[in-house]
Structure 1
Amino acid sequence: MSWLDFRVVLIVVLLTLISDEPVQADEVSAGEIVVDGCQLKEPVYDYTFNLTALNSLGRTVHNERGDRIEFNVCGGLSRSCGDKTNVGACLTKNDGKAFTLGKTSKLHYKSGRLYFSFVDGEKCSGDKNYTLYLTLSCDYTMDVYPLDVIPTEDSECTFYINLRTIHACLPLPANLESNVCSATDDKTGHKFDLMPFSDSNYRVSDRGGSYFIINVCKPVLYGQDSMCPADSGVCYINNNATDIKQKFVNYGIASPAPVFENGQLYMNFSSNTKCNDKENISSVIYFLCYRDVELGNPEFISKNGCRYEFSWLTSLACNYVQPCTTLVPSTGKKYDFNPIAGVYNVTQGDKHYMVGICKDIGSPCLSGDGACELNNNQATSLGKSTVELNVNETGSPFAIYTSGSKCNSSQNWTTKIEFICSNNQTDQGPKIIENSNCVLIVHFKTSLACQEQILCKVVDAGRTIDLTPLISTNENYVATVNETALKAENSNSVKYYLNVCRPLVSQYGLSCPGGSAACKAIVKGSGTPEQEQSLGYPTSSLTLYNSKVQLKYIYGDKCPADESEKMSTRIDFKCALAAGRGNPILQSIVNKCHYQFDWLTSVICPPQQCNFFTDTCIATNVGTGKSFNFRNAKFTNNGIITVEAKPKSFDIDVCAQNQTVFADYSESVVKLFFVTTGSCNSGDLLNVQLRFVCGMKETNSTVHDVSNIF
């Protein structure tokens, strides 16, 4: 298919053809289903979810007050709850008093959402009883990694917990059970690993009122409004369908691995869904290097015949890895050891070593050495340095230095550096663990190796809400105070420092307890924070319930008003188109211990379609009231952009007719879509996508050419 001409980053150009729509069948509705047991047949594919494997001796979580919530499903707790036995869920407050949250549980299904309700709890207050809701989320990796239990609390009487489990998924195809989902560039040896994408679904608009749900490396995760076929990697959601069995259509069977060919990374998806009498629908995703994001999001480009084409700008597609960093495929967590890169002297017994972290040691060791042993001014190379890191099957990072000096007749020396999580500042740095069989093993303890980062995104009806753009790496957020609600706290001497989903950024003079994500301090005339107190640690991932996007930091310092409680923070994020990134506002303090913030931000807002006026070439965002004139923009020549795609160049008229314009706040980009005539072949129509990245600087566009994939 040499006709395909695909260009993306600020410009995407694709030859567009027209095809028939697929055929559909059978009518079923998806009302709420409630059962007493642990098996439930969902209505779309008649698949029976069997959750009896979740029965255990009980799982335990804590809320921000330090109360313990213990629960079990498909059976009772093995221990008593106060004087009650054989209950399903128990709340033990930090004063030791125990209350039944629910004797038994019921299993619910509603529009793809599975959850247990414990509704026969003890009396709480007034006419309210204690209640627990346990939502089950599909996660194919949870059979390998520990279950992720996220506590949230709506009130003193009602509790919500999210349990990620493979048992809430449709069956996993055999070819995806242990797939590695990577491709290698044979010229450079670089491996493209796309498994980090599999943790979430990605919702993509078709710009016609419906949308796609995509997952990569694993099938689409079954869930609320995401009831896609068991093997689908690209799923079309037809919002016009009234029959639930016709609403979710497989547009591509999940693929176990991408392909790297002719310098391009892509993934093909075939399907059994009929497009016409001769062909089935298929999809393809082109992954394109974009270093400004980690994972990024897919974008629908066009439909060519029966083939649906998507682009995905992501750093995972870059044929380059930032030195001294690595990603954990299962979680997308990025390790960055650049802060500890350097040369270290290590003594073990009577032996002296020099070890470099992502750095050549230099003299007195041999050129290029990453580790060496010194003996009477003689250096023995124990391996050549590298800036490339790896992770093992458990997600732990390590570095391998090979090609050292001759060890014996058949082997050269090798050094393996394993990075070990340690938050103890007095117990960090390298330590020789073993020196045998021509291998030197070094453990380097550092807080940078700790994996305990919480998820900063949550799925809302198929749309992923991602707060990672708000994570700060260079400075902390300083909250303002609602003067009306908190007059006593309206003091210039009290400052509140926060970060999003991560600990506070190290700041000279700010001595908040290490690892805190929220902190209160007194700042006097000198400007130096004093009397710092932790308002909580990032131990619970982002949650969504009752349409609230909420983040909690718990286990802070002892509460001055009640030393039996720990201070905590709750942040409610709210969509505000004109707010930009926004800033936290302290709204209330409950019992002088629990700090509640509002955060108005555009980052969680869904993409907004803008009005475009062809005669003036002006786009207007009705939500913010702001307009932009593309004809007068510095990067156009009266609305014309010249794209250099060596050895060719061509012009794109930004002011063409039938423009569709979206402001995408999650990516901080403005996207333009339109069809025009172009230079692929005389008279052909070109489907054009332009991405304008919001920023303080103006830079030239980057063009990717994948015209010779097939």
Structure 2
Amino acid sequence: GSTKEVVSVSNMGISKRGPIIEGRDRLLLEFSDGSVCMSDGQKLSYTTRIHLVCSRGTVSMGPRFLMYQNCTANFMWETRAACAISTTKNNSCAVVDPNTGLELNLQLLASKTGYKTRANGKDFLVNICSDVAECGQGMAGCELEDGHPSSPVGVEKTLQYSTDGLLKLTYKGPLDDPTATRDTFTINFVCDPNSHPGSLKLVREDLSSLPNHVVHDVLFEFSTALACIPAPVDCQFSDSQGNKYDLSHLIRDNNDSPWIAIETDRVKSRTFFINVCKPLPPLQDCPVGPLGACGVIDGKHYNLGYIQSTPQVAEGGSISIMYQNGDPCGPTSRYSTRIILECDDNPGSPMFDREDGCEYVFIWRTSEACPIRKTQGDNCRVRDPKTGYEFDLSSLKGRDYPVRNDKYIYHLSVCGGLQRDVCSSKDTGGRSVSSCQVDGNSHKIAGMANQVLSYVGDQLILNYTDGDTCHKIYTRSTEIFFSCHPDRHPGTPEFIKETPDCTYMFSWPTALACVPVKTTSCSYNDGQGHSYDLSTLAMDSRNWEVEPSTVDTTKRFYINVCRSLVQQEGLWKCPSSAASCVKVGDKYVSLGQVESGPTWDGNVLKLQYTSGQACPDGRRNRSSIIRFKCDKDRVDSRPTLISALEDCVYTFLWLTAAACPLNSTQHDNCRVTNPATGHLFDLNALTKDGGYTVYHHQDHRKMFRMNICGSVTNSGCGPDTAVCIKDASTAVKCSVQNGSTLIDLTPLIHVNGYYTATDEAVDQSDGSPDFYINICLPLNPIPGVTCPAGAAVCMDPDSGPPVDIGRTTSGPEINSETGEVSITYHSSTKCAADPEQNYTSTIIFTCQRGLELGSPQMLRLQECVYLFEWATPIVCSDATNTSDCHLTDSQLQFTFDLSALSSEVQ
């Protein structure tokens, strides 16, 4: 049969208690009492432990597998959910969330007229971060009585933000000297994605009477999209095949310019700004809030959707990102954005593809959408295959790093032996010790020196093995996980845990694990229908070398476009952050780093790199200006040095076809020519007998038959049809009535996956076949298995193509005498035993109480009928019993205990 993914352990643990605090900014989640597990002859139950470590950032990292031992699976999860709640207070109008780095700037809510609300028969007028004239000079709020201000506030203001989401602005009025009191207006800001800029509402008004004075304290609620903190988006994810992806290099921060989508439709006057995994950097006139995309259409700015969901990988490897809930579009809809990223050799730029109703669709072919590859390197170095950057931990050599936990002190070194006299009395055969566990006078070797560094996902991993014997059967070992934290130079190791087989695990947040390669948007849109894209000039394996000068042959200039230089082998010493660099003899000097995307200057595109090494005058830093001029005939050209002012500002000119406005062309006969290069594309080779079959990703009864550069034969749509859409006209009922009880099989439907069954008893001359099954719907596409279109039950023999053995059904039936529920599928495949009949497949459902839905098992082939049995709680009679705060479901054999939610009312 074919390779397939199956559930091997359905219950890896049940949540029985809340999180445990392991230390500041460290939590432990434990799920215990899972399925039965055998380990070394002992009967145990599966357990899952997730170690949560505080990571302050809007980009969420999913849990990382650490190891599995003695029926216990261990994961580490860096997340801001593990960060201790902190409160920030200042008297300005902007505050930075210490967990996400997101700046909440309330100055954008300042209004010329303020915000008014009426409650308790009174009018209240408040402005945000600005005065309001009606309340008096220098005042930001007041109560209006018949149009006259009273209880003015604004002499003092305080902005307070807590990382649990509370954002509060407090105004205080003038001091009343006799009573030493002040009137106070407190405004709590509430996230409302649909409120632009915001609305004011009174929550509570307190009046405290003192002799000859009334103290006025008012609590308001201000609803605004500006108070919305974006949900953490996981920029690292996996597909169903186990491939890992990382889009974090596409993130644009506040210091970067956003991605600008390119398009070839010159009629439209519009510009699209896009970000990935984080909200857009602040843009003038774009709506406030955590936007993923903003559109400038005919001079107006629109919210095209909020950051809110993790990227999804389709079966073909393309990645989809959805931004939804944008500005209103028509009377009932809202704008949304869909970005489809596809793996490519070049960095690429997002390209506008189409407008589908209220949804804007972009295609982005980029090397960042390719699966991550795992690599290893020696001598404490390893190269990232995607960026070409070489990590080097050699600077951590030559010193010891002590780490203390509750019982032991661990002494670690990096890529070399320990310097301190610990574990030195051991006979190591001349090998150096890199990890030592110390408990008073007891020293245990926890790993020998090793310089092999691994790069997996976004982590560097160093393994030390061959330590002292532990529990008589294991040898001690150490694993150190280095993760990127730009503010840790070089950081320190932190103990995570000791595993049952005596592996000591440490995390080490450090800037040395960060990829310093910086990229920026490489496209420009003039808003008048002209788009430019320089991303074809961006290099990811080598760099551009400037045309050699005939005057000064001692200098060699290296440039990359819209990204940092690619680090090279040998004597290369250009700084890793540089995007422009000059070699003078043996010396390498940075001429600037990537700052922002291209801009328009006169009749050329201009790219500027800043913050290079210091200029000779000591007051400035070196910078580079690259001017790209359109020349349709210069497809393969290089930049030329124009000037070098005071060895400080370097200007280059690049005549290239990449700087020409993007064009689109149309040709006949399924051929088209690239207007920039003249290359002819011919798609006639994709024409296929019988065409291609594709299922709708949501409605699996809808099937698309299509061909490329030709018609689809036998489609039922006519002889010259290129695309034929088939939609099942009748919906299959997936339930059956048993007296007064409805037996519903819809929980068994696989919307995305499929069920498998294998049986050795089926007599096949070529071995044991695999069976793929879905309930009440056709099978979804199966990687590597081309089941006939529309089949709900498919047999895949060891040799030969898969066979349809069941597609149409009238739904489940019940035997009135036995009460047995079954479903029968009829196929279009002739039966080998009786060619007068077609194969059918019957699934008999039997009652098996419990939490697991079960899966089909092959029984036998009975002439032309394939029989399957499926034990599941779905067909069991259901009853519930309640006692106190407990509810027991007899079908699931599970008791829901709500007593933990009860508490005394204070």
- Give the TM-score range, shorter chain: 0.3 to 0.5
- Taking structure 1 as the reference length, the TM-score comes to 0.46
Bigger CA radius of gyration: 2
- Taking structure 2 as the reference length, the TM-score comes to 0.37
